[in-house]
């Protein structure tokens, strides 16, 4: 690994690292915030997955989460959203290719060589973090939009791996909305049965663990009715009795202004679970 950014922040350090990913077959970057407590003890980790068009930079520069991570003694890890580089397949669209990895394991050409973000964020990256940083194996996961989808899928399909999960404006049913249908057709093919493994609504129906879900959604979000549709997850949660707290926040949109307004509550929520 190579550290490419190192900045003091709320008594700790906001760093960015570059490494060669064997899962994605390319060079990747991820951000790590080490709060001041990390100088003397191992700490639990909250993983953050960002949304369409983002990199690791969006969360660390816009959300303001470091302040709360320092208060609660939690390490923050934020990877990039997709593989990148001159040899990585891309598309002439913001919602497919680089910046739109959708946290799946692609099975179709030309995507399958690099686009395995599900394995990267649930396996390779945590192993790397736990080997090289002062952290425990106690994990939580959160994210926004496409990253909220990724966080929910990671938690629902890996019982016991995370202590808590939350999301801002997640794409809860990608199999039923345009963003997801476009990405899943490209990455996974036409067989919709293969899509179920990366769809939170479908995963919740057979989840082996009743890990509570916390979701914040702005009611002024421009994508609410067309792409996000949290009511689909809420209906499934009620049908299978899966604990879900869906908070509709009046006046808030899809931006990082929304995330910054409630990220402190989410970090506190995860800190309670991580330290229970």
Measured in degrees and rounded to the nearest 5, phi and psi for residue 91 equal: -135, 155
Record the pTM: 0.98
Check residue 158 and report its DSSP letter.
Answer: S
Q: Which CATH class is domain 2-275?
A: alpha beta
Q: For the segment 60-111, what is each residue's pLDDT rounded down to a tens digit?
A: 999 999 999 999 999 999 999 999 999 999 999 999 999 999 999 999 999 9
What does the pLDDT read at residue 48?
99
Number of H helices, E strands in the chain: 10, 9
Residue extents of the structural domains in the chain? 2-275
In the set 50, 145, 166, 200, the catalytic residue is: 145
145 a catalytic residue: yes
221 carries an active-site annotation: yes
pLDDT digits (tens, 9 = 90+) for 19-48: 999 999 999 999 999 999 999 999 999 999
Per the CB < 8 A criterion, the answer to whether 175 and 227 are in contact is no
Write down the residue that tokens 């991570």 correspond to.
69
Please tell me which residue in 50, 221, 242, 266 is annotated as part of the active site. Answer: 221
Tell me the H-state helices in the chain: 56-62, 66-72, 117-119, 125-132, 146-156, 178-188, 192-195, 200-205, 230-240, 256-274
117 confidence band (pLDDT: 50, 70, 90): very high
The per-residue pLDDT for 154 is 98
- Does 72 participate in catalysis according to the annotation? no
145-199 confidence digits (pLDDT tens): 999 999 999 999 999 999 999 999 999 999 999 999 999 999 999 999 999 999 9
The per-residue pLDDT for 170 is: 98
Local confidence band at 53 (pLDDT 50, 70, 90 cut-offs): very high
């Amino acid at each position: 690994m190579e550290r490419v950014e190192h900045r003091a922040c709320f008594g700790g350090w906001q760093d960015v690292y570059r490494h060669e990913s064997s899962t994605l077959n390319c060079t990747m970057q991820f951000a790590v915030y080490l709060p001041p407590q990390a100088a003397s003890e191992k700490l639990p980790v909250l993983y953050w997955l960002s949304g369409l068009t983002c990199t690791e930079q969006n969360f660390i520069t816009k959300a303001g989460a470091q302040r709360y991570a320092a208060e609660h003694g939690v390490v923050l890890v934020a990877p990039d959203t997709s593989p990148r580089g001159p040899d990585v397949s891309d598309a002439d669209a913001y919602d497919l290719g680089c910046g739109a990895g959708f946290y799946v394991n692609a099975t179709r050409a030309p995507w399958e060589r690099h686009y395995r973000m599900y394995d990267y964020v649930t396996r390779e990256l945590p192993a790397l973090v736990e080997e090289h940083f002062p952290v425990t194996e106690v994990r939580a996961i959160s994210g926004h939009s496409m990253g909220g989808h990724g966080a929910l899928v990671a938690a629902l399909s890996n019982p016991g791996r995370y202590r808590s999960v939350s999301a801002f404006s997640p794409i809860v049913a990608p199999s039923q909305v345009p963003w997801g249908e476009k990405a899943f057709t490209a990455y996974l093919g036409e067989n919709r049965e293969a899509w179920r493994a990366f769809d939170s609504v479908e995963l919740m129906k057979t989840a082996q663990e009743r890990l509570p879900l916390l979701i914040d959604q702005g009611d002024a979000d421009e994508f609410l009715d067309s792409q996000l549709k949290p009511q689909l997850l809420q209906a499934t949660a009620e049908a299978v009795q899966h604990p879900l707290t869906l908070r509709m926040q009046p006046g808030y949109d899809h931006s990082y202004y929304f995330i910054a307004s409630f990220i402190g509550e989410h970090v506190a929520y995860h800190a309670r679970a991580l330290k229970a």
